[in-house]
Amino acid sequence: MMHTLLYIDPGSGSFLVQAIVAAVLGIGYFFKNIRNAIKLFFWRLFHKKQKD
Amino acid sequence: MTSRHPSSYRDPSGFIFTHEGVLYRQINKCFAKNFEIFINSGLHDHLIKEEMLIADSIINENLTGSGDWHLTLKPQLIPFISYSYEWSFDMLKDAALLTLKLAKEAMKFGMLLKDATPLNIQFYKGKPIFIDSLSFEAYDETKPWIAYRQFCETFLAPLALMHYLQTPLQPMLLAYPDGIPLSVAAKLLPWKSKLNLNVNLHVHLQTKIAAKADNTNKSSKEFKFSASKLKNILSSLESSIQYFQLNASSGSWSGYYNEAEQREDYLDEKKAIISQWLSSLQLKTAIDVGANEGFFSKLLNDQNIEVLSADSDHFSINNLYKQIKKEDIENIMPLIIDFANPSPAIGVNNTERNPFLERVNVDLVIALAVIHHLAIGRNIPFAYIATLFKKFGPYLIIEFVPKEDEKIQLMLQHKKDIYNWYTEENFLKEFAAFYHVAASEVIGQSKRKLFLMQANEQAF
């Protein structure tokens, strides 16, 4: 294992890692945005009703 | 005379050197284009204005006479250079957050932060500040962050370990000056750290992929990156760092003064004597040995003296840092130092990072209620303690705690009393080889005694 690690320097090996991490985070943030949009929708709805 | 700093060898973009006693940074020809973008994009001025980057002036003179020379920078001098193994948890955390903020700011100006290590950060006027103006390069959106793993190993891994283990781990940073390898951090982190998505991705997943990846088959070109992906990574790192806390508040010395304050006017008396002595001396800098939460460092700060407040107790120093941050105190530099084992020289040729004793050069040493911890707590003879203090500077304010003191009796409850030599007479005799006593006074009703000493000329 150590042998492989030695060949992964910050300049090349972590590129693959970052591609995967960014992909996972992308999905995470995508759903977070949807969740926030839904929250905002209901918040507005609720807020509007209160105003009425 | 010109001499290149021994730690400035990693980056071909330039190096730090001293010329006739003044510190400069040379920018080499190969970095000329990037530095031009750094200046012309406005990022340089923006970061200095926001106090994120140390101010500098450009000097159009080749002081080193080297053929690679492009420009010379004269950065503002930082009075005391410290390393991450001397910082408390919140200091390292703030340094990490500054690094991420710099990476984000750089992107706004079309640049990328290419190094993310605590070595590029120093504490100046109580706040972390970035010191390497050669760490910014033109940003290519299709490429991932070159400093990602470095950030994870030098900032994320130590902070994550301290957070999950709720233990200060500064000695580990000394053992791994280039960052704690993620494979090591992943093994040391408890299982529950995997439940945190950010920690899981940046430490555990990264370790797994790095172990499995066969890099020879895939080139980095296959992984197209984008600015939004990098922003996601930076935001994720930021929220993990923000989440980490080291709150264990009951260090062995935290709250010492709350307890000490209850002792009849002891602190007030002590303060009055020291203030009186200070007013008779013209001092600019000091080191507070065994500073605890900085009660007396603040007294020095009030007199416009710059103080290095050093203590081996992490929680006290972390609390002191939080206080100076809250109250915007500029003259106190909190440091975690074990005076029985101060930071050594490390790195290539053992010259990259200077030992603590070589970095301290102050006018005054104050060592209050600390001698018994070194002499009885750590078995260090008086002469060794005097040698240590004398190296720091010429004046010394020291409190002698007699053996019958309840604190010493408490220490001796669990220890064999092998300290026949611990007497005021011996203390004065051994210190006399290094110092002469300029004044002395008993503190109020206690039997503790304060001494103002000045180093003997021949002792230097």
Q: Count helices and strands (H / E) in chain A.
A: 2, 0
The amino acid at residue B125 is: K
Give residue ranges of B with CB < 8 Å to any A CB.
Answer: 143-150, 181, 183, 197, 201-202, 205-206, 209-215, 218, 220, 223, 225, 228-230, 232-233, 235-236
User: Considering CB atoms only, which of A17, A25, A26 is closest to B209?
Assistant: A17
Kindly list the averaged pLDDT for each block of 10 residues, start to end, along chain B of length 460.
82 89 91 94 96 94 89 93 97 98 97 95 97 94 92 97 96 95 96 95 90 57 81 95 84 58 77 94 95 94 96 95 96 96 94 94 96 94 96 96 92 91 96 96 90 79
Query: How many CA atoms, within 13 angstroms, populate the side-chain half-sphere of residue B301?
Result: 22
- Amino acid type, B5: H
Q: How many beta-carbon pairs below 8 A join chains A and B?
A: 89
Of B390, B397, B348, B392, the closest CA to residue B368 belongs to: B397
Give the pLDDT of residue B328.
95
**What pLDDT is attached to residue B221?**
54
Residue with structure tokens 């895939």? B218
State the first-to-last Cα distance of chain B, in angstroms, to the nearest integer: 25
Residue of A nearest to B208 (CA): A17
The upper half-sphere exposure of residue B120, i.e. CA atoms within 13 Å in the direction of its Cβ, equals 26
Task: For residue B126, give the 3-state DSSP assignment.
Answer: coil
- Cα-based distances in Å from B90 to B159, B241, B254, B333, B449: 9, 10, 16, 13, 35
pLDDT at B441: 94
Any CB–CB contact under 8 A between A24 and chain B? yes
Closest by Cβ to B146, choosing from A10, A21, A25: A10
CB contact under 8 A, B230 and A5: no
Q: Is the pLDDT of residue A4 over 50?
A: no
Q: How far is CA B281 from CA B148, B333, B452, B457, in A?
A: 50, 22, 11, 17
The token duo for B440 is 């002395």
Which tokens go with B453? 């000493």
Nearest-CA distance B156 → chain A (Å): 15
Nearest to A19 among B144, B183, B212 (CB): B144
Helix (H) or strand (E) holding B58: strand B56-59
pLDDT of residue B253: 56
Q: How far apart are alpha carbons B39 and A52 in whole angstroms?
A: 55
Q: State whether B210 and A12 contact (CB < 8 Å).
A: no
pLDDT in tens, A7-47: 445 444 578 888 888 988 988 888 888 888 898 888 888 88
pLDDT, position A6: 46
pLDDT score at B8: 83
Please report the pLDDT score of residue A28 as a whole number.
83
Measured distance CA(B345)–CA(B350) in Å, rounded: 5
* Closest approach of A7 to chain B, Cα-based (Å): 8
Note the pTM of the prediction, 2 decimals.
0.92
| Long-range pairs for B377-380: beta carbons < 8 A, 24 or more residues apart | B377/B411, B378/B340, B379/B418, B380/B340
- CB contact under 8 Å between B145 and A18, yes or no, is yes
- Under a CB-based contact definition with an 8 Å cutoff, are residues B382 and B433 in contact? no
Q: What is the pLDDT of residue B11?
A: 85
- Å between B189 CA and nearest CA of chain A: 19
Candidates B246, B255, B305; CA nearest to B281 is: B305
A30 touches chain B (CB under 8 A): no
* Torsion sign across C-alpha atoms B362, B363, B366, B371: positive
pLDDT computed for residue A17 by the predictor: 86
The per-residue pLDDT for A5 is: 44
Cβ atoms of B160 and B240 within 8 Å: the answer is yes
The answer to whether residues B159 and B196 touch, using CB atoms and an 8 Å cutoff, is no
Q: What pLDDT, on a 0 to 100 scale, did the predictor assign at position A27?
A: 87
Looking up tokens 């180093």 gives B455
Q: State which amino acid sits at residue B261.
A: E
